[in-house]
Amino acid sequence: MVYQPQNLLFPHHDGSELYVSNDAPKIGEEVELRVRVPKTYQVDQIYVRLYHDGEPRAFALNPERKSKRNSTETWWSVKVQILNPKMAYRFSLVTDGTGKWLTAAGVVSHDVSSATDFQLLAMKPYPAWIRSSVFYQIFPDRFAASGRKRDVPSWMVPREWSALPNGKDETTGVEYYGGDLDGVREHLDHIEELGANGIYFTPLFPAGSTHRYDATSFDEVDPVLGGDKALFALQKRAKKMGIRLMGDLTTNHIGRGHKWFVRAIEHRTSKEHKYFYWDKKIEHGYVGWWGLASLPKLNYTSLSLRKAMYEGKNSVVKKWLRAPYSMSGWRIDVGNMTGRNLEQDLNQEVMRGIRKSMDEQNPQAWLVAENADMFPSDLDGFGWHGTMNYGGFMRPLWGWIRHENYIPNAGNFGLAIPMANFTGKEFVASMKDFSAGVPWRNFVSSMLLLNSHDTARFRNVVGIDLARHTAGLTLLMTYPGVPSMFAGDEVGLEGEWGEDARRTINWDDKKTWDNALLATTQKLVKIRRTSHALSEGGLRWLQIEDDYIVFLRESKEQTLLVAVSRNGADISVDLAALGYKVSKTLFGPSQSGLLIKVKSQQPISLVLTLTSN
């Protein structure tokens, strides 16, 4: 049976260029909002309901005379004036005197709050370059070793490059494999050939562990990694290759050996003493992240701390964004916990302060936070550009596509019970729940990932199944957001949990690599990097079944259809009903004409270019 796309039943709007004439207007400017309505959906009138100074207003849309595909749909539009920094809006669809709401969560017949309203931000555009970027995450100690001699602290435990991390004993966090920035520079060609154009480094600062999330200084690159000199050499070569470098900053805490904390302990009258929370009821006398004495938590009631961390000209945030360091952005560690301690909640203040400082120093720098459990207020448009999208992509994807024998560690997701097995509808519902609560700009500026340095490898999640792994990769490279891969994913590195996943890459014997996976990754990265629809397009769901999903990415220049299954499937889609036909098969089994038909006993991955029929 040929499936008639369910999206034909409902009108559609999102924050992409087909529906919003200007996604970064100034206060006082007019913006055109558009809604597409299938001919099969009866509607007599459409109104936009928006807020002006907190007061709801309604304006009528009018059907456009020259719709793009008159035989299949009608476009409605209205111009509205932007009067506030954020405009929340939704559409009222009126048929026979009865109204339904079109919100970012879809079409509903009941009354709703404004929690899932579309949101338009009247502020400068976010960094445009992230829209067409693919990032490669590097844990510096484990990526590549140059072999250069370093003065290694005595607390580090040397390991052979080929050895697996112990991961669950007293050496966790202090194992030293010898990876450094010169090693990264010597292997930039691998990243370039992969197609990635950005590197996100876990912390590079001196620290009390090889994880380096317990910084002892923010003033320099750890000499064990080659110091500032190695970063400058890396930055020089990376720039020539069009590869940006991004840092990782712990704004929530520092290491006990950090000079700020050392001075705070030694001088109770010092300004640094006010950088921390002191509590005699705690055994070690101060608040540590997760109660750890090794990670003193920062107290942002101190204006001096704010100046040192992000406000001042030579603050940590600003210094590393300008020459000679020239980092292209910050990933903020545990951004959801920064500034929060018991009754005190300065998170919004600090978040917006960091953003303001970055905009002052380099408006093209990307600010993405680790918010493992994302509150919509954390992505309100005025702080983080985006989040590491665990909750709105990776976690639901794992629940849908994982191998039946793989049971994720519930602790990785803050769960008291094992993760459920999701149907396709539950998978998509989870992703919609995330995207509907935040401005479109923040949604598409968030980092997509199949795994990271803090999780198991996706290869293990899918049971070392190339077809299923490819399905996940296809989603990673085609879903809205900024794709990020953990170094070694592309060659088949394994890992059952975070530390186990921080394995080294065997550069000496590439026969040990999964070269089929590498070739597949390169193809999909190329599609992501060169597709206008994937960088600028919206998202329309067409077909959602237990074992497969189909969606469209549409921009002014290009339309792509993506179909992915977790198991074998029989997928049929009638494109004539959408006003499209297949132009080219970019990835997967070859298709042509008005009917897409794919039947396989293995997971399916399909990316097609469509044109108007």
Q: What's the mean pLDDT when you consider all of the chain?
A: 94
- 190 pLDDT above the threshold of 90: yes
Per-residue pLDDT band for 372 (boundaries 50, 70, 90) equals low
Query: Which amino acid, residue 127?
Result: P
Q: Tell me the two tokens of residue 607.
A: 């990316």
pLDDT for residue 9 is more than 90: no
For residue 167, pLDDT over 90 is answered with no
Instruction: Quote the CA–CA distance of 46 and 89 in Å, as a whole number.
Output: 13
Q: Residue 562: which pLDDT band, with cuts at 50, 70 and 90? A: very high
- Does a structural domain hold residue 110? yes
Same domain, yes or no: 89 and 212: no
Residue 241 has, within 13 A of its CA and on its CB side, a CA count of 24
**What pLDDT band is residue 2 in, cutting at 50, 70 and 90?**
very low
228 plus 157 within the same structural domain: yes
| 422 occurs within a structural domain | yes
Q: Is the pTM of this model over 0.85?
A: yes
402-406 contacts, C-beta under 8 A, 24 or more apart? 402/461, 402/462, 402/463, 403/461, 403/462, 403/463, 403/465, 403/468, 404/463, 405/463, 406/456, 406/460, 406/461, 406/462, 406/463
Query: Quick one: pLDDT at residue 70?
Result: 66
Residue 340 within any structural domain of the chain: no
Pick 172 or 3 by higher pLDDT: 172
Cα distance between residue 447 and residue 393, in whole Å? 9
**Do 463 and 546 belong to one domain?**
no
In a domain, 227, yes or no: yes
Do 447 and 554 lie in a common domain? no
- Domain count for the chain, please give it: 4
Q: Are strands 482-486 and 540-544 parallel, antiparallel or unpaired?
A: unpaired
Compute the distance between CA of residue 299 and CA of residue 339 in angstroms, rounded to an integer.
7
* Separation between Cα atoms, residue 509 and residue 491, nearest integer Å: 12
Closest CA to 339 of 294, 384, 381: 384
> What's the pLDDT at 289?
96
233 alpha-carbon distance from chain centroid: 28
525 and 540 assigned to the same domain: no
pLDDT beyond 80 at 417: no
pLDDT confidence of residue 5: 45
512 is a domain residue: yes
Could you tell me the CATH number of the domain that includes residue 442?
Answer: 3.20.20.80
Asked if residue 311 has pLDDT above 60, the reply is: yes
- pLDDT at position 420 is 76
CA distance 471 to 484: 16
Q: Where are the beta strands (DSSP E) in 477-524?
A: 482-486
At 404-415, the pLDDT tens digits run 878 776 555 666
Distant-in-sequence, close-in-space partners of 429: CB < 8 Å, separation ≥ 6: none
Q: In angstroms, rounded to a whole number, what is the distance separating the alpha carbons of residues 252 and 290?
A: 11
Picking from 210, 239, 268, the residue at the C-terminal end of a domain is 239
Average pLDDT, integer, range 41-59: 96
pLDDT of residue 373 exceeding 80: no
Which residues on neighbouring strands pair with residue 582, listed in sequence order?
A: 593, 610
pLDDT per residue over 215-238, tens digit each? 999 999 999 999 999 999 999 999
> Which pLDDT tens digit goes with each residue over 441-498?
999 999 999 999 999 999 999 999 999 999 999 999 999 999 999 999 999 999 999 9
Q: Which residue has the higher pLDDT, 2 or 500?
A: 500
pLDDT at 1 over 90: no
CB 485 within 8 A of CB 137: yes
Supply φ then ψ for residue 360, to 5 degrees.
-70, -45
Beta bridge partners of 38: 73
Residue 275 has what DSSP assignment?
G
* H or E element in which residue 461 lies: helix 458-461
What integer is the mean pLDDT of 415-435? 87
Residue 168 confidence (pLDDT): 84
Same domain membership, residue 438 and residue 494: yes
pLDDT score at 350: 98
Which residues, 6 or more positions from 236, have their beta carbon under 8 angstroms from its beta carbon? Answer: none
* C-alpha distances out from residue 482 to 65, 323, 388, Å: 36, 25, 9
- Least Cα distance to 208 among 217, 220, 197, 198 occurs for 217
Q: What is the mean pLDDT of residues 565-584?
A: 94
Residue with tokens 């701390």: 305
> Distance (Å, rounded) from C-alpha 549 to C-alpha 428?
8
Strand, helix or coil for residue 182: helix
The token duo for 610 is 């469509």
- Percent of the chain predicted with pLDDT > 70: 96
Do residues 30 and 105 both lie within one domain?
Answer: yes
Kindly report, residue by residue over 93-133, the tens digit of the pLDDT.
Answer: 999 989 999 999 999 999 999 999 999 999 999 999 999 99
Q: Contact at 8 Å (CB) between 36 and 20?
A: no
Distance separating alpha carbons of residues 184 and 201, to the nearest angstrom = 11
Residue 1 lies in a domain: no
In a domain, 559, yes or no: yes
Convert the pLDDT of each residue in 495-524 to its tens digit. Answer: 999 999 999 999 999 999 999 999 999 999
Last residue of a domain, one of 239, 274, 296: 239
Q: What is the CATH number of the domain that holds 552?
A: 2.60.40.1180
Shared domain for 518 and 546, answered yes or no, is no
| 270, amino acid identity | S
Q: Are residues 466 and 451 in the same domain?
A: yes
What is the per-residue pLDDT for 409? 66
225 token code pair: 């990694």
Contacts 24+ apart (CB under 8 A), 307-314: 308/260, 308/275, 309/251, 309/354, 310/251, 310/350, 310/353, 310/354, 310/357, 311/353, 311/357
pLDDT given at position 418: 73
Q: How confident is the model at residue 7 (pLDDT cuts 50, 70, 90)?
A: very low
DSSP states of 89-101? EEEEEEETTEEEE
Task: Examine the domain organization and report whether 541 and 506 are in the same domain.
Answer: no
| CA torsion through residues 385, 388, 391, 396, sign | positive
Residues 408 and 496 in one domain: yes
pLDDT average, residue stretch 261-284: 97
Cα separation of 276 and 253, whole Å?
A: 9
**C-alpha span between 215 and 206 (Å, rounded):** 6
Give the pLDDT of residue 375: 75
Residue 196's domain comprises 141-239
Residue 359 lies in a domain: no
Which among 239, 264, 281 is the end of a domain? 239
Do 507 and 400 have their domain in common? yes
Give whole-number Cα distances, 513 to 99, 168, 510, in Å.
Answer: 57, 26, 5
Read off the pLDDT of each residue in 271-293 and give the average, rounded to a whole number.
Answer: 97
